[in-house]
Amino acid sequence: MDRMLVVVFDNESKAYEGKKALLRLDAEGSIGVYAYAVLAKHADGTVSVKQGDEPGPIGTLVGTSLGSLIGLLGGPAGLAIGATAGFVGGGFFDLDNVRIGEDFLDDVTKTLTPNKVAVVAEIDEDWTTPLDTRMEAIGGSVFRRALSEVTDAADQKEVAAMKADVAQLKAEHAKAHADRKGKLLDKINQLDSKIQARLQKAKDRRLAAERQAQAKAEILQEKAAAAKAKL
């Protein structure tokens, strides 16, 4: 099962121990790590993205759920840092793109307080005990959530509602006096623009999900090939 993982530690040293434990679990086959990062929250509330001794595969997943989560955890400053570091792309910084619930983000934010450091990762995991046991031994607080499927249902409902409003405005425009037609036409054009923007956002989200799925498949193939080569 594909999951978003956040493990919060009291300091950077413990977080890097957690990162190494994460990679060992991946090497052992207990979990699969698609991408990861070490995230530090400073005393002023700003966030910076740090990397460990090994760069990891995150560079292949630009614009993914993980990158978006890093941006959301960091707030405006985090978005800028993430974009600079190459973790996020395309301006996808809402929960739809992270594919987790708002309650998960709230829980992590309450624990990831200033001066704490977190290991953030997108993983494939069927059994929680191996990871929890190792992270808790290091002093980490573990948060995980299964990634939801990308869906256009919300976009479709909103677009349908806006189209209904456009139809009503057009009906009014047909019967309106000349002095009112201009204002109604402006409203129609504004709604049309919002509809197009919403449709484009949905399309971009679908394409991003397709790219992410392909990137994950390639990562798993590379790991399988590497494991076979060692036999």
Dump pLDDT digits (tens) for 139-176: 999 999 887 655 556 667 778 888 998 998 999 999 98
The answer to whether residues 129 and 173 belong to one domain is no
The answer to whether residues 65 and 119 belong to one domain is yes
3-state DSSP of 123-174: EECCCCHHHHHHHHHHCCEEEEEECCCCCCHHHHHHHHHHHHHHHHHHHHHH
Which residue would you say has higher pLDDT here, 203 or 53?
203
| pLDDT confidence tier of residue 22, bands split at 50, 70 and 90 | very high
Is residue 218 pLDDT above 60, yes or no? yes
Is residue 134 pLDDT above 90, yes or no? yes
Dump pLDDT digits (tens) for 96-127: 566 677 778 888 989 999 999 999 998 889 88
| pLDDT confidence tier of residue 56, bands split at 50, 70 and 90 | very low
**Cβ atoms 133, 24 nearer than 8 A:** no
Residue 157 confidence (pLDDT) = 75
Alpha-helical runs (H) found in 12-127: 12-28, 65-85, 95-98, 102-111
Helix (H) or strand (E) holding 10: none
The answer to whether residues 161 and 116 belong to one domain is no
The answer to whether residues 81 and 190 belong to one domain is no
Tell me which residue range forms the domain holding 182: 151-231
The answer to whether residues 157 and 108 belong to one domain is no
The answer to whether residues 138 and 180 belong to one domain is no
The answer to whether residues 126 and 214 belong to one domain is no
Is residue 4 pLDDT above 50, yes or no? yes
Identify the domain boundary among 115, 148, 181. Answer: 148
Tell me the pLDDT of the chain averaged across its residues: 79
Identify the domain boundary among 148, 167, 198. Answer: 148
Identify the domain boundary among 123, 148, 173. Answer: 148
Which residue would you say has higher pLDDT here, 42 or 8?
8
Answering whether pTM is above 0.85, one says no
The answer to whether residues 131 and 157 belong to one domain is no
Is residue 180 pLDDT above 60, yes or no? yes
Is residue 94 pLDDT above 80, yes or no? no
Residue 148 confidence (pLDDT) = 65
